[in-house]
């Protein structure tokens, strides 16, 4: 299926607390001679019209990226949906020609280079407003495609309903799944623990093209 890709903003979610890594910014860990964040940006940048980071705290620690750093505006570390809302709000305010935001975790060093195309294709073919990634039988709700037009509904869900589970909100609107194989390297492998970081280093060495 051939589709015209709408202008899409890349949103890298780096607002978590990284408790399983002992705190700090796990996306600044090095995998295969590059930080995880550099690997994410390198893969996502060619697919998007623009990129932003969602992160809380001092934005200066990401100054080297040259990207806008957008904090949550829902208090209390409200989870990934708060970061996604921040990205949708930023797009509406600063990039009115952009109609979709694609979100990715900042801790996925093997993101696919066809992510945006395949998410849009899934959305279009299944006629849903939303799409998310799936590898093997595992769904990855945070790796998703979000229309800016739904930002007010998402804000209401977060601030008035206290809803924080992605699947519940996306299920209200309709979400398509875009599929990838999970071998030899799962493109959505994420680094949550020191053991994950070691495994990612091994995978990067064994599969340099991944």
CATH number at residue 131: 3.90.550.10
**How far is 127 from 16, CA to CA, in rounded Å?**
32
pTM of the model: 0.94
How is residue 80 written in tokens?
């990934």
b/e per residue 163-187 (b: at least 16 CB within 10 A):
beebeebbeeeebbebebeeeebbb
Instruction: Give the percent of the chain with pLDDT over 70.
Output: 93
Beta bridge partners of 8: 100
Residues 166, 81: contact at Cβ < 8 Å? yes
Whether residue 184 is contained in a domain is answered as yes
Whether residue 84 is contained in a domain is answered as yes
pLDDT grade for 21, boundaries at 50, 70 and 90? very low
Range of the domain at 128: 8-206
| pLDDT for residue 15 is more than 80 | no
Whether residue 3 is contained in a domain is answered as no
Q: pLDDT, tens digit, for every residue of 84-141?
A: 999 999 999 999 999 999 999 999 999 999 999 999 999 999 999 999 999 999 999 9
How is residue 93 written in tokens?
């305010």
> How confident is the model at residue 107, as a pLDDT?
94
Whether residue 50 is contained in a domain is answered as yes
Whether residue 131 is contained in a domain is answered as yes
> How confident is the model at residue 18, as a pLDDT?
47
> How confident is the model at residue 200, as a pLDDT?
96
């Amino acid at each position: 299926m051939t589709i015209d890709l709408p202008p899409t903003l890349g949103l890298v979610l780096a607002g978590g607390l990284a408790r399983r890594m002992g705190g700090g910014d796990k996306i600044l860990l090095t995998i295969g001679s590059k930080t995880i964040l550099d690997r994410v940006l390198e893969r996502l940048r060619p697919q998007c019209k623009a990129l932003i980071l969602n992160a809380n705290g001092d934005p200066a620690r990401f100054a080297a990226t040259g990207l806008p750093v957008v904090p949550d505006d829902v208090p209390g570390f409200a989870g990934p949906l708060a970061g996604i809302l921040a990205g949708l709000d930023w797009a509406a305010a600063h990039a009115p020609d952009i109609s979709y935001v694609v979100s990715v975790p900042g801790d996925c060093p093997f993101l696919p280079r066809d992510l945006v195309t395949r998410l849009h294709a899934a959305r279009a073919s299944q006629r849903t407003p939303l799409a998310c990634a799936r590898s093997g039988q595992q769904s990855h709700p945070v790796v998703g495609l979000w229309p800016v037009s739904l930002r007010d509904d998402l804000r209401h869900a977060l601030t008035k309903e206290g809803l924080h589970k992605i699947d519940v909100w996306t299920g209200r609107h309709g979400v398509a799944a875009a599929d990838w194989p999970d071998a030899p390297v799962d493109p959505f492998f994420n680094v949550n623990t020191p053991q994950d970081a070691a495994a990612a280093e091994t995978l990067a060495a064994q599969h340099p093209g991944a």
